[in-house]
Structure 1
Amino acid sequence: MKKLLYILPVIALLAIVVIRLKSNKKTTEEKVYTYNKEQAILVQADTLRLLPLQGETIFSGNFEPDRETRISSETPGKILALFVDAGSVVNRGQTLVKLDDALLKLQLQSVDVQIEGLETDVKRFTVLTNADAIQGVQLEKAVLALKAARIQRSNLLEQIAKTTIHAPFSGIITQKLTELGAFAAPGIPLLQLTDIRQLRFTVQVPEQDLSRFPVNRSYTIHADAYPNMPLAGKISLIGSKGNQGNSFPVQFLVTNSAGQSIKAGMFGKVSLAESGQEKALLIPSSAIAGSGLQPQVWLIRNGKASLTSITVSRRIENRAVVASGLKEGDLLVTGGFINLFEGANVRTQ
């Protein structure tokens, strides 16, 4: 009887908890919003039709220096003097770095003394040989030794000349990679020299547009930083191998402005005007979903949304030219993409 008195309160408490949990679950379910997938989604749409190609096709790219090199020493040695710094404008042949050549000059003095002695020996042995006082082989050995010493002297002069490093072409020091007192060695860069008087401008062009870039004409290129400064460019290279998106590099040779305002690494654009005679399916770029490599758009078919893959041949301003995947008369979704899913019921406004 006593056990029953203890068990009954526990059972009653459990019953109360279960009832309360069921009540809370029902209340929560009533508050949670359940999306009705059958409800039609309001979207903006446009019927596709062939339109004349008018406007400009823009290809973006970046500027690179026509000539750039990292300067290193051909001979090892301690740096005694640095005549330039980052940002210095230098001319071809200007002295940039001076290395320690004291030891080489001492070796040169030693060789000069050796040559002086050998020249005296050759003169003396020549007189003695003509008088049959000595064998001719001694004169031959002295002559060969003198030639070897002179070659050694020329070698030392060449090494001494290499301790003075000159600019291989005119440009700007864009990087200083060493300091006074450091040790220079072959292959270790000391300075970076960049020439931006001539620039290379490179854009990636889809294969179907390569025919629009003949090499025998000039193109107008604008840097993004200086949109009101037109630059004349001529094609110097059309790539023979495309990237993963099947686009090919087209490179232009551009003469910089008088003040060299365009810097290496800046972005720019080259524009091609459309004639307006050709017609194509044009869609807003904002209607394209997916990646640049696999573009997709939403179409309305029988009142339902359908995600369709397309091929974009090129872009004209804020519109895309569709090469395949769409046809005239298709109903294209241009707005209201947030809740769209494959097969969703849609209605247009």
Structure 2
Amino acid sequence: MIKKIILIAVAIAILAATAFKLKTNKEVAEKRVYKYDIDKPITVKSIVLKPENAATSTVFAGNFQALRESKLSTDVQGKVLEIYVDQGSMVEENQALIQLDNSLLKLQLQSVEVKIEELTKDVKRYKVLTEADAIQGIQLEKTELALKSALIQKATLLEQINKTTIRAPFNAVVTAKMTEEGAFAAPGIPLLQITDISILKFTVNVPENSLSKFELNKNYTVSADAFPDIQLSGQTTMLGSKANIGNSFPVQLLVKNTNSHEIKSGMFGKVILQDDTDTSQITIPASALVGTTIKPQVYLIENGRAQLRDIIVAERIENRIVIAGGLKPGDEIVSNGFINLYNNANVNPK
């Protein structure tokens, strides 16, 4: 009986010690946990809104393409005898680029020239004999026709020989070399590719609500992403009449390249539209915007408290938001320091 009482007493003591330990641990944990003071002001950064000039710029991204590009081939077949240019070479209109073997054509030309010389003498001799009734006039006529045929044959050979020299159809740069000396050239097989980048086509895709900002034959400022400091002038030559898959319309501008042809075909760039209206507007930094795109909001500071305010967004220009409604000049809004911030929170703006 005494042993049983001792066991019960020990069990009670263990339970009491465990309860005391748990209570002590709870008190220590509660001391360590941070307790947020709801009445303590939250330090935030704020800005006071003021009207700004409405002059803005709208940017549309696009890419540059060569105005003219051609793959050159030959009209006559033959072995490539000599190539005068290489990839990257600048060429001028009518400059010789490739020479094909024309030795056989030149030999045929020599043979025809001998024949022409002989027929020319025969015609002169037969004219004298015909006038003296020594021969029939039909023989003179046949000889004259043979001379005309030989002259046509000569012209044909000269044209074929001329076509063995492949020339540049316009000023350009060689962008691809697709043959080597000794190779066989035939009609329809590309030998060189030349690209004219002195004038470039710049194409942008414009949303339907911005298409009216572009006018045909009007100049706009264009720049390449690789050379942002170089400002070029582009003239609109085409306004799209049919939307693409993204429901945007292509707008094409012609841009004169720099003298050193720094802008290359395939580069990306942008066209900048300036809007120089005289009205004023309110803009806020994009970082001040909270909520969603469907329901944009800001924290308006009134009487030391942050109040969530619904706003109407007109447009976004880079890192600024143009406000169409919900705010007025003189309003103070939170621009940074949104941690722990909530509606009607006590704030300390700086």
Instruction: Render the CA deviation track for 1:23-75: whole Å, top value 9, x for unaligned.
Output: xxxxxxxxxxxxxxxxxxxxxxxxxxxx9976432100001112221111121
Q: Deviations over 1:235-272 (max 9, x none)?
A: 12222332123322111111112221111110001122
* Counterpart residue identity of residue 274, structure 2: A
In the TM superposition, residue 193 of structure 1 has moved relative to its aligned partner by 1.0
Q: Which residue of 2 aligns with 1:43?
A: none
Q: SS in structure 2 opposite 1:189? A: coil
Alignment partner, residue 15 of structure 1 = none
Give unmatched runs, 5+ long, in structure 1. Answer: 1-50, 288-295, 301-311, 322-326, 330-346
Report 1:1-349 matches (<5 A): 55-274=56-275, 275=277, 277=279, 316-317=317-318
Distance 2:249 2:281 in 1: 25
CA contact (8 A) 2:102 2:161 kept: yes
How many angstroms apart in 1 are the aligned matches of 2:285 and 2:145? Answer: 85
Contact map agreement 1:108 1:156 (CA 8 A) in 2:
yes
Is the 1:202–1:249 contact (alpha carbons within 8 Å) kept by the matching residues of 2?
yes
SS in 1 for 2:166: strand
Quick one: distance in 2 between partners of 1:79 and 1:263?
30
Check 1:119–1:204 CA distance in 2 against 1; reply closer, same or farther (3 A cut): same
Deviation at 1:279, TM superposition (A): 8.3
Aligned partners of 1:206 and 1:314 also within 8 Å: no
User: What secondary structure, in the 3-state scheme, does the structure 1 residue paired with 2:191 have?
Assistant: strand
- TM-score normalised by the chain length of structure 1: 0.65
Superposed displacement of residue 314, structure 1: 7.8
What amino acid sits opposite 1:229 in the alignment? Answer: I
CA distance in structure 2 between the partners assigned to 1:189 and 1:276 by the alignment? 57
Determine if contact 1:57/1:314 at 8 Å carries over to the other structure: no
Query: How far did residue 192 of structure 1 move?
Result: 1.0
Counterpart AA for 2:174? I
Amino acid at match of 2:244: N
Extract structure 1 runs of 4+ deviating beyond 4 A. Answer: 51-54, 276-280, 282-285, 296-300, 312-315, 318-321
Cα distance change, pair 249–313 in 1 and its aligned pair in 2 (3 A): farther
Structure 1 distance, partners of 2:315, 2:96, is 50
Using a 3 Å threshold, how does the CA distance of structure 1 residues 77 and 246 change in structure 2: closer, same or farther? same
Residues 155 and 283 (structure 1 numbering): CA distance in 2 closer, same or farther, change over 3 Å?
farther
Q: 1:313 to 1:59 in 2, by over 3 A?
A: farther
Distance 1:129 1:320 in 2: 100
Q: Indicate how the Cα distance of structure 1 residues 315 and 128 shifts in structure 2: closer, same or farther if over 3 A, else same.
A: farther
Amino acid at match of 1:113: V
Listed as ranges, the gaps of 5+ residues in structure 2 are: 1-50, 297-312, 327-341, 346-350
Contact 2:83 2:181 in 1 (8 A): yes
**Matches of 1:313 and 1:150, distance apart in 2:** 78
Change (3 A) 1:244 1:152: same
Please list the CA deviations of residues 131-182 of structure 1 after superposition, one character each: whole Å capped at 9, or x if unmatched.
Answer: 2222211111110110010000001001101111111122211110111111
- Residue 149 to residue 315, structure 1, CA distance change in 2 (3 Å): farther
Query: What amino acid is the match of 1:84?
Result: V
Query: Percent identity, aligned pairs only?
Result: 54
Map Cα deviations across residues 216-253 of structure 1 (whole Å, 9 max, x no partner).
53211111011111111111222233212332211111
- Separation in 2 of the partners of 1:109 and 1:174? 38
Instruction: State the Cα distance separating 1:284 from its structure 2 match.
Output: 6.9
Q: 1:244 to 1:279 in 2, by over 3 A?
A: farther
Q: Say if 2:217 and 2:237, in contact at 8 Å, map to a contact too.
A: no
- Shift in alpha-carbon separation, 1:132–1:114, aligned structure 2, 3 A: same
Shift of the 236–141 alpha-carbon distance from structure 1 to 2, 3 Å rule, reads same
| Structure with greater Cα Rg | 2
